[in-house]
């Protein structure tokens, strides 16, 4: 079984809909992250969490919110989806003291029409 899982893997939705992307990990890591990937831009950080009560905005948090329900679960929500949120979304995890080596999930491809 994969250490970092994301659901759904693919989602097509319409403008204005609320969407939740979920991430679960079995690695026992404290830290979890959400990124989006757009062609030619690499990965950009949306939100990150160093533990259940420590959640921080990343580079591009506008239009997104997150919830850290447990150490192993970190969800990303789009309250009202818009077409420019069409992207590939990755969840990642890391140990507290690993000099930030991160382990990535398989990604969720989101299309907003």
Partner 1 sequence: AQSVTQLDSHVSVSEGTPVLLRCNYSSSYSPSLFWYVQHPNKGLQLLLKYTSAATLVKGINGFEAEFKKSETSFHLTKPSAHMSDAAEYFCVVSGNARQLTFGSGTQLTVLP
Q: Which residue has the tokens 């003291």?
A: 97
Among 11, 13, 55, 104, binds partner 1 (CB under 8 A): 104
d(CA 69, CA 84): 27
Among 64, 90, 93, 110, binds partner 1 (CB under 8 A): 90
Query: Is 53 among the residues that bind partner 1 (CB under 8 A)?
Result: no
Tell whether the torsion through CA atoms of 73, 71, 77 and 62 is positive or negative. negative
Query: Is 57 among the residues that bind partner 1 (CB under 8 A)?
Result: no
Kind and range of the H or E element at 20? strand 19-25
Query: Is 105 among the residues that bind partner 1 (CB under 8 A)?
Result: yes
DSSP state of 9: S
Query: Is 72 among the residues that bind partner 1 (CB under 8 A)?
Result: no
Applying the rule CB under 8 A, the residues between 4 and 43 that interact with partner 1 are: 4, 35, 40-43
Query: Is 95 among the residues that bind partner 1 (CB under 8 A)?
Result: no
Query: Closer to partner 1 at the Cβ: 7 or 80?
Result: 7
Nearest to 48 by CA among 98, 7, 92: 92
103 CA to centre of own chain: 12
DSSP state of 40: T
List of residues contacting partner 1 (CB under 8 A): 4, 35, 40-45, 48, 56, 58, 90, 92, 99-107
């Amino acid at each position: 079984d994969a250490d970092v899982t994301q659901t759904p893997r693919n989602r097509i939705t319409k403008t204005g809909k609320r969407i939740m992307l979920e991430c679960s990990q079995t690695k026992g890591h404290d830290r979890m992250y959400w990124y989006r990937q757009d062609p030619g831009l690499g990965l950009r950080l949306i939100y990150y969490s160093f533990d259940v009560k420590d959640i921080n905005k990343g580079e591009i948090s506008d239009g997104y919110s997150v919830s850290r329900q447990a150490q192993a679960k970190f969800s990303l929500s789009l309250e009202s989806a818009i077409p420019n949120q069409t992207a590939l979304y990755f969840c990642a995890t890391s140990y507290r003291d690993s000099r930030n080596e991160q382990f990535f999930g398989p990604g969720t491809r989101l299309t907003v029409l």
